[in-house]
Amino acid sequence: MKRVKKRIEKDRSGFVELYPEELEDMWHVYNLISVGDNLKATTIRRVQNESSTGSVESQRIRLTLTITVEDIDFDPQGGLLRIKGRNIVENKYVKMGMYHTIDLELNRNFTLFKAEWDIIALERIEEACDITKQADVAAVVLQEGLANVCLVTQHMTIVRQRIEHPIPRKRKGFVTNYEKGLQKFYDQVLQAILRHVNFEIIKVVILASPGFVKDQLREYIFAEAVKQDIRSLLENKSKFILIHCSSGHKHSLQEVLQDPAVQSQLTDTKFAREIVALDKFFKMLNDDPDRAFYGWDHVRKAEERGAIGTLLLSDELFRSADIPTRKKYINLVESVRSIGGKVLIFSSLHVSGEQLNQLTGVAAILNFPLPDIELEEDENNQIATEDNS
């Protein structure tokens, strides 16, 4: 994404003009825009004109509108971002207060106005506009008859294609049907890789499965690459790595990305750091539970005592339409950083972010144990029970 113009006043109000260039940029934009912001962009609107004879003609015109945001809808698969709101700058075709929905598009500027640009929003812009932080991974998670072809960027895990193909059972005297079914399945996966993987930007291609399915797929891919002289595959053979996983379903991608062989390839990427931190949190929760807490109440108490070493937050928390909720998490981030703590904001479009959301979206690894946090809660619960009785 390109930052075209930026003007932030001392009171933190101001605007930023941005130019999204790729799918992941739309994810950043979705996280930047909040209800109550003002958005200026070019859009298409159908207008009706009445001629001197009284006949009415309808036509679609392109115009620039500024709306106050009331509703935001994002389709991560297609990168479609629709923003609905009321017009606040009157023009020839749209009166003040009229509703309009703007479809934000790639390769088209827009300007976002906020009454207050907080630290999370400003950091997201810097990250989105830093081309050095783009590190893309392709992953095929499969088992016999099922494959998920995924693209993993810094902030998103997108299933580009799900392949299901029935494989006949391997029976005595009917091995040929089984092998033909398997070959058709592998060919569908190969075509999906060619369709969805851009080897100019992909750093690594992961083939992951239980058993030897991944090995057979790799063998098939490069046998076909030689036979058909598919240069894109032959020239990028070194990017393919084989990893064991428990199934061909998307959720297995989490265990794949935790594999040391994958981690060594992706040590400098944001989502790799997220996975390592979440793995450390779960180990701490199991081995030393007084140093691992989740949920707002427990994490806030740990922050008040200056105990948080690493704070794990879901980006969903910062998309809250409730301003006080958003502000309390921003204050939490600033407080943890002020004492030297590390803050990781997880993308809810990654499997690691999905896991964190199951833990309320906020968790913390502490520098020292705080066993009294849970004791306090138990005491409060006991008092509440006695009062009720």
Q: Does residue 132 carry a pLDDT above 80? A: no
pLDDT at 91 (0 to 100):
85
Residue 369 is given by DSSP the state: -
Q: Is the CA virtual torsion 304, 306, 312, 315 positive or negative?
A: positive
Show contacts of 322-327: CB within 8 Å, 24+ apart: 323/36, 326/34, 326/118, 327/118
Distance, in Å, from the CA atom of 17 to the CA atom of 41, rounded to the nearest integer, reads 10
Q: Does residue 378 carry a pLDDT above 70? A: no
Average pLDDT across the chain, whole number: 88
Q: Does residue 380 carry a pLDDT above 70? A: no
What's the whole-number mean pLDDT along residues 234-251? 92
Distance of CA 206 to the CA centre of its chain: 19
333: confidence class by pLDDT, cuts 50, 70, 90: very high
User: Do residues 299 and 364 make contact, with C-beta atoms less than 8 angstroms apart?
Assistant: yes
pLDDT at 90 (0 to 100):
86
Q: Does residue 33 carry a pLDDT above 90? A: yes
Least confident piece of the model among 56-70, 102-116, 202-216, 356-370: 56-70
Residue found under tokens 């309390």: 328
The SS3 assignment for 370 reads: coil
Q: Does residue 267 carry a pLDDT above 70? A: no
What does the pLDDT look like over 144-193, one tens digit per residue? Answer: 999 999 988 777 788 889 999 998 887 666 678 888 999 999 999 999 99
Residue found under tokens 């700058």: 89
What's the whole-number mean pLDDT along residues 64-78? 90
Q: Using alpha carbons, list the distances in angstroms from residue 357 to 187, 230, 312, 336, 353.
A: 36, 42, 10, 20, 6
Q: Does residue 23 carry a pLDDT above 90? A: no
pLDDT at 192 (0 to 100):
95
What does the pLDDT look like over 200-218, one tens digit per residue? Answer: 878 889 999 999 999 999 9
CB contact burial 192-216 (16+ within 10 A = b; e otherwise): bbeebbebeebbbbbbbbeeebbeb
What's the whole-number mean pLDDT along residues 258-287? 82
What does the pLDDT look like over 273-299, one tens digit per residue? Answer: 888 899 999 999 999 999 999 999 999
